[in-house]
């Protein structure tokens, strides 16, 4: 099976506190996954689960403490920037923060073209920009000579995607791309990922906490909790019949847009975040309804159940 | 059916800005008629910049420049009488706040004073509203309240930064419910929270409403949350309410084209079929479109839609919709 991007045993440790009272937090703890060509892979989890840290390591903003990242068969070496970012482009969370409000939007396009030497002259550059903007449902005429404040959140996010497409990337790393976009315009961005995958064969690493759009758009999903992937597999399996108790809690906590299905069960909320990080054994043991003796002592390994990898003692053959 | 507790008549509140001598008027609330009943959760939904938060400010009587009241009235029903809040003196409005109506503002995680403990905030709060109590009695009331809502007592001894966002949000909601107000206004109480925490916050709000039997006005653009808690929902678009009905009707039988788009664009589990966003972009409230403000984005727009804003039609009992498509042809 061909793998476009492979992440193996990735670990990132942050230290908190002063010199004397150090706390070491494993924000990403031995995470491995891969993305196939023309596939949308979702990393889902709550804030503080390490999903953004993984994106930052893949994009080279952060050095991993341990582990490797392989992109189309090549390991990341020191001098990676150019060949790496030509194949992997990023889309960030806040469309209003991505663009400088005092700078015309089109200048970001020309800058990328100059950095990667994508065009020889002005006409060629404009033709390229127009082509990419058409792919996201806009055009050069609509965008030229305008400032970011003249667009809606959804439009800016699509412009941001068009900018990323300039280098013909194989993989887009999208970190919470729709969480700041209005609910009424959200689907225009999400549908675009689907279209890019189908028409241009672009893979997407979709990082989100919104499981409903994750289900709608992605092929495979990994659920993260406090630095670990606890469940990974095809979305139809993971989100329709969740195995791990944490995935089940997440899935039940999504409000269905149907007044006939309201929550009736009460839930308990977490202790503070870092206490859960420092836990030995399974990090979810403090809140898990099916907790066993062994869960508090040792973190379980992966076990495969019907094509889904899950990290829970419940599924271990006894 | 329960009696009306809050009523507005043709409420208009505009932001009037003066930028280097040019007058700019933003029509954030433009002719809203609401009738909110006792013992219900009334949800207001709409995209950002449609005037939801401004409407809440007006309902709360907090109209400060550059926001100006341009017309209309807001009535609270107090002791069987309708009271026009804009005719009250400032100190009378102040007396109503927290005891009769309380307000959980947007981003209320940051309203707690960061340099004092949560219990000091409770004390400040109680001292100004409950007379003739000693310090210890006040702490007892605070403890009792926190316990009744199922929050850990340790929050009282904590500084705000030691609490997580969800816990801070629940503390502010608890504070808003402290004096058992008849109406609680909550502006986007769950935005920017994680799904599990969001569920905890909603659980708290619901619990308070059921215990006190009061009214909650809940503003959020998250239709999933609306479906889960609201009894009736008003859909707001460009400063106006365009549709109002029970939650079951809004989700089961949406009539306004905008509401239909909103509901149909929601992804659902177990259904990977294509979902479409609302076409076009939200209108500018400084220069709203003529007639029905939705007409530039509406696929069914007629000539009349561009000329006149329709009144409410009631094609189904208690289901009001402002759309020419629903009127007699």
Residue among B202, B251, B282 minimizing CB distance to A257: B251
Residue among A182, A213, A253 minimizing CB distance to B267: A213
Q: What is the pLDDT of residue A269?
A: 62
Region for residue A168 given its phi and psi (left: phi exceeds 0; alpha: psi -120 to 50; beta: otherwise): left
- H or E stretch including A133? helix A122-135
Q: CA-to-CA distance for B118 and B140, rounded, in angstroms? A: 14
- Count of C-beta atoms within a 10 Å radius of residue B186: 26
Cβ distance of B261 and A184 shorter than 8 Å = yes
Residues B11-28: what's their mean pLDDT? 86
Most distant CA pair in chain A, distance: 68
Cβ distance of A215 and B227 shorter than 8 Å = no
Cβ distance of B196 and A262 shorter than 8 Å = no
Residues of chain A contacting B225 with CB distance shorter than 8 Å: 255
**% of chain A beyond a pLDDT of 70:** 93
What integer best gives the mean pLDDT of chain B?
A: 86
Say if A301 falls within a structural domain.
Answer: no
Strands B183-187 and B101-104: parallel
Q: CA-to-CA distance for A300 and A277, rounded, in angstroms? A: 15
Q: What is the pLDDT of residue B265?
A: 85
Say if A229 falls within a structural domain.
Answer: yes
Say if A112 falls within a structural domain.
Answer: no
**% of chain B beyond a pLDDT of 90:** 21
Q: CA-to-CA distance for B219 and A317, rounded, in angstroms? A: 49
Token representation of residue B59: 């309902």
Cβ distance of B195 and A211 shorter than 8 Å = yes
Q: Which residue of A has its CA nearest to B221?
A: A183
Say if A104 falls within a structural domain.
Answer: no
Q: CA-to-CA distance for B184 and B212, rounded, in angstroms? A: 11
Say if A48 falls within a structural domain.
Answer: yes
Token representation of residue A166: 């300039």
Most distant CA pair in chain B, distance: 68
Is there a contact between B184 and B41 (Cβ–Cβ < 8 Å)?
Answer: no
Cis amide bond preceding B174, omega within 30: no
Cβ distance of A256 and B270 shorter than 8 Å = no
Residues B65-88: what's their mean pLDDT? 88
Q: What is the pLDDT of residue B316?
A: 86
- What is the domain range of residue A32? 5-87+167-256
Say if A236 falls within a structural domain.
Answer: yes
C-alpha distances out from residue A9 to A65, A81, B125, Å: 10, 22, 52
Residue ranges of chain A with per-residue pLDDT less than 50: none
CA distance A215 to chain B (A): 7
* Dihedral (CA of B69, B75, B78, B83) sign: positive
Question: Residue A224 maps to which CATH number?
Answer: 3.40.50.300
Is there a contact between B4 and B77 (Cβ–Cβ < 8 Å)?
Answer: yes
Q: CA-to-CA distance for A104 and A197, rounded, in angstroms? A: 29
User: Looking at this predicted complex, what is its ipTM?
Assistant: 0.76
Cβ distance of B203 and A259 shorter than 8 Å = no
What is the number of structural domains in chain A?
1
Q: Tokens 């599924």 map to which residue?
A: A315
Q: CA-to-CA distance for A15 and B79, rounded, in angstroms? A: 59
A191 touches chain B (CB under 8 A): yes
C-alpha distances out from residue B248 to A261, B229, B251, B264, B318, Å: 11, 11, 5, 15, 12
Give the closest residue to A69 by CA, choosing from A32, A26, A14. A32
CA distance A237 to chain B (A): 10
* Residue of A176, A184, A195 for testing the chain B interface, max B β-carbons within 10 Å: A184
Between B160-164, B201-205, B255-259, B295-299, the lowest mean confidence (pLDDT) is in B160-164
Q: CA-to-CA distance for B186 and B202, rounded, in angstroms? A: 11
SS3 (DSSP) at A69 = strand
Give the closest residue to B218 by CA, choosing from B177, B176, B189. B189
Give the closest residue to A302 by CA, choosing from A17, A15, A30, A6. A30
pLDDT tens figures, A198-244: 998 999 999 988 888 899 999 999 999 888 999 999 999 999 999 99
Per-residue pLDDT for B275 more than 90? no
Residues B2-14: what's their mean pLDDT? 89
Residues of chain A contacting B267 with CB distance shorter than 8 Å: 187, 190, 212-213, 215-216
**Number of residue pairs across A and B with CB atoms under 8 Å?**
129
Cβ distance of B221 and A183 shorter than 8 Å = yes
Q: What is the pLDDT of residue B98?
A: 84
Region for residue B100 given its phi and psi (left: phi exceeds 0; alpha: psi -120 to 50; beta: otherwise): alpha
Cβ distance of A46 and B195 shorter than 8 Å = yes
CA distance A157 to chain B (A): 13
Q: What is the pLDDT of residue A35?
A: 93
Say if A159 falls within a structural domain.
Answer: no
Token representation of residue B131: 């007379």
Token representation of residue B267: 């992804």
Residues of chain A contacting B235 with CB distance shorter than 8 Å: none
- H or E stretch including B4? strand B4-19
Contacts 24+ apart (CB under 8 A), A234-237: A234/A307, A234/A308, A235/A42, A237/A306, A237/A307, A237/A308
* All residues at 6 or more sequence positions from B302 whose CB lies less than 8 Å from its CB, including other chains: B324
Q: CA-to-CA distance for B133 and B127, rounded, in angstroms? A: 8
Residues B101-116: what's their mean pLDDT? 82
Between B226-230, B240-244, B258-262, B324-328, the lowest mean confidence (pLDDT) is in B324-328
pLDDT tens figures, A244-256: 999 998 888 888 8
- Count of C-beta atoms within a 10 Å radius of residue A97: 12
* Dihedral (CA of A158, A190, A256, A249) sign: negative
Q: What is the pLDDT of residue B242?
A: 92
Q: What is the pLDDT of residue B234?
A: 94
Q: What is the pLDDT of residue A273?
A: 60
- How many angstroms from the chain centroid is the CA of residue A145? 32
Give the closest residue to B182 by CA, choosing from B107, B77, B49, B273. B77
Say if A201 falls within a structural domain.
Answer: yes
- Count of C-beta atoms within a 10 Å radius of residue A98: 17
Q: CA-to-CA distance for B95 and B91, rounded, in angstroms? A: 6
Residue among A188, A209, A211 minimizing CB distance to B277: A188
Between A216-225, A261-270, B223-232, B234-243, the lowest mean confidence (pLDDT) is in A261-270
* pLDDT confidence band for B329 (50 / 70 / 90): very low
* All residues at 6 or more sequence positions from A215 whose CB lies less than 8 Å from its CB, including other chains: A235, A239, B267, B269, B272
Is there a contact between B63 and B13 (Cβ–Cβ < 8 Å)?
Answer: yes
**% of chain B beyond a pLDDT of 70:** 98
Give the closest residue to A161 by CA, choosing from A194, A184, A183. A194
Is there a contact between A138 and A159 (Cβ–Cβ < 8 Å)?
Answer: yes
Q: Which residue of B has its CA nearest to A268?
A: B200
């Amino acid at each position: 099976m061909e793998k476009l991007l492979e992440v193996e045993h990735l670990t990132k440790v942050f230290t908190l506190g002063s010199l004397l009272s150090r706390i070491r937090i494993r924000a990403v703890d031995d995470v491995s996954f891969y993305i196939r060509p023309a596939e949308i892979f979702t990393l889902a989890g709550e804030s503080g689960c390490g999903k953004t840290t993984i994106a930052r390591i893949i994009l080279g903003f952060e050095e991993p403490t341990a582990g490797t990242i392989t992109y189309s068969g090549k390991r990341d070496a020191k001098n990676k920037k150019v060949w790496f970012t030509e194949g992997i482009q990023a889309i960030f969370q806040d469309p209003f923060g991505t663009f400088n409000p005092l700078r015309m939007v089109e200048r970001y396009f020309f800058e990328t073209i100059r950095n990667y030497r994508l065009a020889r002259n002005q006409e060629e550059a404009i033709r390229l920009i127009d082509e990419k903007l058409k792919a996201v449902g806009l055009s050069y005429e609509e965008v030229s000579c305008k400032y970011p404040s003249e667009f809606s959140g959804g439009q800016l996010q699509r412009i941001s995607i068009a900018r990323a497409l300039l280098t013909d990337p194989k993989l887009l790393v999208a970190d919470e791309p729709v969480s700041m976009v209005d609910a009424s315009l959200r689907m225009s961005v999400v549908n675009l990922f689907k279209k890019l995958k189908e028409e241009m064969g672009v893979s997407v690493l979709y990082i989100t906490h919104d499981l409903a759009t994750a289900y709608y758009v992605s092929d495979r999903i990994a659920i993260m909790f406090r630095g670990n992937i606890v469940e990974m597999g095809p979305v139809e399996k993971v989100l329709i019949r969740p195995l791990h108790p944490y995935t089940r809690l997440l899935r039940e906590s999504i409000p269905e847009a149907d007044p006939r299905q309201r929550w009736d069960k009460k839930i308990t909320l977490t202790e503070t975040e870092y206490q859960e990080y420092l836990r030995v054994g399974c990090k979810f043991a403090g809140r898990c309804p099916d907790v066993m003796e062994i869960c508090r002592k040792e973190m379980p390994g992966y076990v495969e159940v019907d094509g889904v990898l899950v990290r829970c003692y419940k599924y271990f053959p006894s | 059916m329960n009696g009306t507790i809050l009523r507005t008549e043709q409420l208009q509140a505009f932001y009037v800005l003066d930028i280097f001598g040019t007058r700019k008027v933003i029509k954030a609330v433009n002719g809203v008629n609401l009738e909110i009943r006792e013992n219900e959760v009334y949800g207001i939904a709409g995209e950002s910049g449609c005037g939801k938060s401004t409407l809440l400010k007006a309902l709360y009587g907090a109209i400060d420049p550059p926001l100006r009241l341009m017309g209309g009235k807001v009535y609270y029903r107090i002791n069987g009488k309708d009271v026009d809040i804009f005719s009250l003196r400032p100190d009378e409005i102040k007396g109503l706040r927290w005891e009769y109506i309380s307000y959980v503002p947007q981003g209320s995680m940051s309203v707690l004073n960061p340099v004092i403990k949560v219990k000091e905030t409770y004390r400040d709060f109680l001292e100004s509203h409950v007379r003739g109590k000693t310090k210890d009695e006040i702490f007892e009331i605070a403890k009792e309240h926190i316990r009744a809502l199922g929050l850990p007592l340790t929050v009282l001894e904590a500084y705000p930064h030691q609490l997580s966002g969800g816990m801070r949000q629940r503390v502010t909601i608890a504070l808003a419910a402290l004096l058992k107000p008849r109406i609680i206004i909550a502006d986007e109480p769950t935005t920017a929270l994680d799904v599990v925490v969001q569920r905890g916050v909603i659980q708290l709000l619901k619990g308070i409403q059921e215990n006190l039997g009061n009214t909650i006005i809940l503003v959020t653009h998250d239709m999933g949350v609306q479906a889960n808690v609201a009894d009736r929902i008003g859909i707001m678009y460009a400063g106006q309410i365009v549709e109002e009905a029970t939650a079951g009707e809004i989700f089961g039988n949406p009539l306004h084209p905008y509401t239909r788009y909103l509901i149909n664009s929601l992804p659902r589990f177990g259904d990977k079929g294509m979902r479409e966003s609302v076409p076009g972009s939200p209108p500018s409230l400084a220069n709203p479109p003529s007639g029905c403000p939705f007409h530039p984005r509406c696929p069914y727009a007629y000539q009349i839609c561009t000329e006149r804003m329709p009144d409410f039609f009631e094609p189904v009992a208690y289901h009001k919709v402002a759309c020419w498509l629903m009127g007699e042809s």
